[in-house]
A and B are shown apart, each in its own frame.
Chain A
Amino acid sequence: QTVVTQEPSFSVSPGGTVTLTCGLSSGPVSTNSYPSWFQQTPGQAPRTLIYSTNTRSSGVPDRFSGSIVGNKAALTITGAQADDESDYYCVLYMGSGIWLFGGGTKLSVL
């Protein structure tokens, strides 16, 4: 059974840079997986940050960027702010109209 892997937790200092990753148990992640990234705070619906690996959704600040790093999709936050403290999820396209979310990364800004 294919699993999308993310770091369970990560921390970054205010103003710092952090890169969260999104891997695939069955092999490398490529642009053909069309990785998307979402931000979610407790009790709120997710917010779409990035799609198609590196395209920012409307209104998303440019300190959020997406890429492929090695065999994984990556979300980089540059100049982290206190309100970036959230859960971050990636989702990958599996083919045949099916998407698979990762388990999420809880980001602390401290």
Chain B
Amino acid sequence: QVQLVQSGAEVKNPGSSVKVSCKASGGTFSTNAISWVRQAPGQGLEWMGGITGMFGTTNYAQKFQGRLTITADGFPSTVYMELSSLRSEDSAVYYCARSLGYSYVPSPNYHDYYMDAWGTGTTVTVSS
């Protein structure tokens, strides 16, 4: 059973960057797509972006365009989420979520897009 283990909590100054990792424990996810979802304190879930398996194609929510970079190391399988120009509103728990298949993009003939496993979560606090 693959588990997604994320890096530890971070405290960052406004204007700096943070890089959070998501690693498969008990297997690999070199062919699985990974999405990043965050949750500010007391708030709902927010899809930030993702990276597909195999080709490493990325998609970012418009809100994060220019500030968010998602990358992957194929072996060992680790996916990274880097968010720059941090502000206080970026304080949140950041989750990685694995798709069952190689992509999170659905189609009538492809249903393995869904997020079937979630990471342990990483708390990022942005404060001066």
Which residues on the B side are within 8 Å of A21 (C-beta)? none
Given contacts A34-B106, A45-B121, A97-B50, contact A55 B111 (CB under 8 A): yes
Which residues on the A side are within 8 Å of B121 (C-beta)? 45
Q: Is B45 a contact partner of A57 (Cβ separation < 8 A)? A: no
Interface-side segment among B13-21, B74-82, B84-92, B112-120: B112-120
Which residues on the B side are within 8 Å of A98 (C-beta)? 47, 59, 61-62
Residue of A nearest to B35 (CB): A99
What 0/1 readout, one digit per residue, does chain A (25-36) give for beta carbons within 8 Å of chain B?
000000000101
A80 located at the interface, meaning its Cβ lies under 8 Å from any Cβ of chain B in the complex: no
Which residues on the A side are within 8 Å of B105 (C-beta)? 93, 97
Interface size class of B (residues with CB under 8 A): 20 to 34
| Residues of A14-63 contacting chain B, CB below 8 A | 34, 36, 38, 40, 45-48, 51-52, 55, 57-58
Contact count A vs B, C-beta below 8 Å: 63
Q: Is B113 a contact partner of A34 (Cβ separation < 8 A)? A: yes
Interface size class of A (residues with CB under 8 A): 20 to 34
Q: Which residues from chain A sit less than 8 Å from chain B, CB to CB?
A: 34, 36, 38, 40, 45-48, 51-52, 55, 57-58, 87, 89, 91, 93, 96-104
Sample of 18 further A-B pairs with CB below 8 A, known A98-B47, A103-B44: A36-B114, A46-B45, A46-B118, A48-B114, A51-B114, A52-B106, A52-B114, A57-B114, A87-B44, A91-B45, A93-B106, A97-B105, A98-B61, A98-B62, A99-B35, A99-B47, A99-B104, A104-B45
